[in-house]
Amino acid sequence: MATTQDAEIILKLYELRRETEMRKAREYITNEFWPESFDGLWKEIGMTGDKYRWFRQVYAYWEMAAALAVFGAVDEDLFVATQLEMIYTFAKISPYLKNFRETNADFLISITKLCERNATARQRLVHAEKQIPLFRAKVAELKASGEIAASRAASDTTAI
């Protein structure tokens, strides 16, 4: 059963997501980052600059947050119920985990553990992984037609 302290941690996590630079990073990952391959992912973010920094910032944030649930610092079910953005963010790169883990065996290990052991998280991840290619295609279509700006495309088509 979740406690008031758990709720305070969840609210603090939300507050951290509102920091100015974190908002920029989340905006990029949520609305503009649509990798179609591991090599394409690296071509997109590079090894320096804002995109690389934002990638690291967002995925490190979600890994830290997931670790709180995995290690029992916050109620796991409450965490999963309130962190849908983490699931969709993870789904964008989950097909490439094997590639990442060739050089870093623990890459996003807490998010992975959480999604493996928590039935709700696992179900949401499966659903998100099916939706990501559809969202990617829709964003590309909308960008190509000029109907909406690239930075608005995903937020208009997703509920994250």
Cα Dmax for the chain? 49
Helix (H, G, I), strand (E, B) or coil at 103: coil
Helix (H, G, I), strand (E, B) or coil at 105: coil
Question: What are the boundaries of each domain within the chain?
Answer: 4-157
pLDDT value for 140: 87
**Helices and strands in the chain: count of H runs, count of E runs:** 10, 0
- Pairwise CA distance, residues 38 & 15, whole Å: 31
88: left (phi over 0), alpha (psi -120 to 50) or beta: alpha
Looking at per-residue pLDDT, the higher value among 106 and 140 belongs to 106
State the pTM of this model: 0.88
* DSSP assignments along 88-102, one per residue: HHHHHHGGGHHHHHT
Instruction: Determine the average pLDDT of the residues in 10-23.
Output: 97
- Pairwise CA distance, residues 122 & 112, whole Å: 9
Looking at per-residue pLDDT, the higher value among 89 and 1 belongs to 89
